[in-house]
Amino acid sequence: MTEEKIEQGTCLRCGRVATLHRGLCIDCFRKSSEIFTIPDYIDLTVCRSCGAQLKGKHWEYGGELKDIIEDEIHSSLEELSGVEVSLEDIEMRRGGEGLYHVEVRAVALFPGGGVIPTRKALTVRVKSSLCPRCSRIHGSYYEAIIQVRGSGKDLLRQEEAVDRVLERVDQIARGDPMTFVTKLVKVRGGWDIYVGRNQSARRIAQEMHRLYGGDYKVSSKLVGRREGRELKRFTYLVRLPPWRRGDYLLKDGTPHRIEGFQGRRVKLKNIETRREESVEISSVETLAHYPSKEVEMEATVLYTSEREIVIMDPVSFAEVNIKKPPGWKRRESVKVVRVDGGIYLL
């Protein structure tokens, strides 16, 4: 494109002295030629289920039909050299099956400063199709199942875990449309979540295991062959441990805080001796369990002696003597754990 020459002069048609475009003033120029052109028709292929658009060989997700049409008009618009056209708005009216009559409002900006509003009309033909993601979802396609299982006592946590899986699927789906949930089934002891993409299911199941601890198992089943390759369906079992990190177990008469999980083992910290140990979950599963929010509390410090801190039991209001830990500094209240009538400094 060559730059339009801007010059001041006498309009060849009306004789007015003005900024000239190809020898004409803006008004005469506008009458004499097309400032910009758009095609009469635009053809689109759009998924009837989710609205994704087929561009070349790829499907683009997440655009509204109006935005897609605006983009298409933008990229097919041809303007006179030197003129800048900016689309103001488009108005869509449904015609027949898959047809939209579109009116385009635009303004043309001339290099000399002239602004001319313009309207043009075109027809958009929309071919309805089904994108690969939607055809898989409609066909109940899945590559893997995430099985979330719990102890049965803590249904709320199972649901929290399932919500987290669904949230992660949504997040991954933004970059990978083939990650989706086809089915969510309540089963005995938990939930089965059917996932469209195996890699995503595996990633999420591993994240869940890292987050919650407990048991994690992978199994697979041969479901067929395609082009000589084995087609497998994977199952990821995420078994939630019976307690949460931060909860307490009463072991050998002393509360132990659950510090974390490693596979089938749990890390416990004796809150009197501060010693940590790692034990099999199954070996401590029957111990009395205290959720942290039920047993952790603030207690007022009444006074201190050389070796002891005297606090008020926040439940019975009795005075309780606690051995002063080395290096303890005087403050108004302390955090304590109250388990089975005993009070322990945190």
CB of 187 to Zn ion, least distance (A): 29
* Edge-first strand listing for the sheet containing 308-312: 319-323, 308-312, 296-304, 333-339, 342-345
Binding residue for Zn ion, selected from 4, 50, 159, 313, defined by CB under 5 A:
50
**Sheet arrangement for strand 276-280:** 276-280, 265-270, 254-262, 248-251, 289-290
- Which residue number, 44 or 281, has a Cβ lying nearer to Zn ion? 44
Question: Phi and psi for 200 in degrees, rounded to 5?
Answer: -70, -40
Binding part of the chain for Zn ion, among 43-51, 73-81, 213-221, 280-288 by CB under 5 A, reads 43-51
Q: Interaction with Zn ion in 296-315: which residues (CB under 5 A)?
A: none
| 93 vs 294: CA distance, rounded Å | 62
We find the least distance from the C-beta atom of residue 60 to Zn ion, in angstroms, to be 11
Distance of closest approach, residue 51 Cβ to Zn ion, in angstroms? 7
- Binding to Zn ion by residue 131, rule CB under 5 A? yes
| Binding to Zn ion in span 190-249, by CB under 5 A | none
Q: CB of residue 46 vs Zn ion: minimum separation in angstroms?
A: 9
Long-range contacts of 54-58 (CB under 8 A, 24+ apart): 54/129, 54/131
Asked if 182 touches Zn ion (CB under 5 A), the answer is no
CB of 10 to Zn ion, least distance (A): 9
The span from the CA of 304 to the CA of 328, in Å, is: 11
Shorter beta-carbon distance to Zn ion: residue 9 or 39: 9
The answer to whether 126 contacts Zn ion (rule: CB under 5 A) is no
Please report whether residue 48 would count as binding Zn ion according to CB under 5 A: no
Query: Regarding beta strands 215-226 and 229-239, do their DSSP bridges make them parallel or antiparallel, or are they unpaired?
Result: antiparallel
Residues 137-156 that bind Zn ion (CB under 5 A): none
The answer to whether the beta carbons of residues 231 and 248 sit under 8 Å apart is: no
Rg of the chain in Å (alpha carbons): 35
CB 346 within 8 A of CB 336: yes
Q: Is 13 in the site for Zn ion (CB under 5 A)?
A: yes
Identify the CA nearest to 85 among candidates 29, 122, 35.
35
164: nearest Cα among 148, 151, 179: 148
Of positions 19, 45, 49, 254, contacts Zn ion by CB under 5 A: 49
Region binding Zn ion by CB under 5 A among candidate stretches 49-57, 77-85, 187-195, 254-262: 49-57
> Using CB under 5 A, which of 6, 7, 10, 14 touches Zn ion?
14
CB of 26 to Zn ion, least distance (A): 8
User: Which of 20, 38, 44, 52 is in the footprint of Zn ion by CB under 5 A?
Assistant: 52
Which structure tokens are listed for 240? 């939630």
202's tokens: 């595996």
Q: Of these, 85, 134, 173, 249, which contacts Zn ion (CB under 5 A)? A: 134
CA distances from 77 to 88, 90, 145 (A): 14, 14, 48
For the CB of residue 153, give the shortest distance to Zn ion in the complex, in Å: 41
| Contacts with Zn ion, residue ranges (CB under 5 A) | 11, 13-14, 25, 28, 47, 49-50, 52, 131, 134
